[in-house]
Homo-oligomer: A and B are copies of this chain.
Amino acid sequence: MTSSDLQEQMGLKALNLLQEDADKIEKLIEVQMENLATRYCPLYEEVLDTQMYGFSRQVDYAVRIGLIQEAVGKGIMTKLERNLALLYEAMNNKD
């Protein structure tokens, strides 16, 4: 394997792992959206904030190592933050 193949491979692995973790958070957001009317759990917000913080640290770290581009990292974070904002909006409208 050449060094540029390896760099590409590691970058892809770093990105796939981030996407996996982002999907888990998306899933948490979806479940809470679906249960908004029925089984609302007040701890959800705290769990989601903690997950988002941990995830943002991973994204930053990948950018600092040079495995993913800053714009790509920002894109992943923005998408998650947007969905989280939609959830919080729906939660507020429920009150």
Contact = CB atoms under 8 A, between A and B. Distances in A.
A81 B92 CA distance: 38
Interface string A52-72: 011101100110111100000
A78 interface: no
A13 interface: yes
Interface residues of A, number: 22
Interface of A: 1-3, 5-7, 10, 13-14, 17, 50, 53-55, 57-58, 61-62, 64-67
Given A6-B6, A17-B64, 18 more contacts: A1-B3, A2-B3, A3-B3, A6-B7, A7-B10, A10-B65, A10-B66, A10-B67, A17-B61, A17-B65, A50-B53, A53-B53, A55-B57, A57-B57, A57-B58, A58-B58, A58-B61, A61-B61
A56 to B, nearest CB: 8
A19 to B, nearest CB: 13
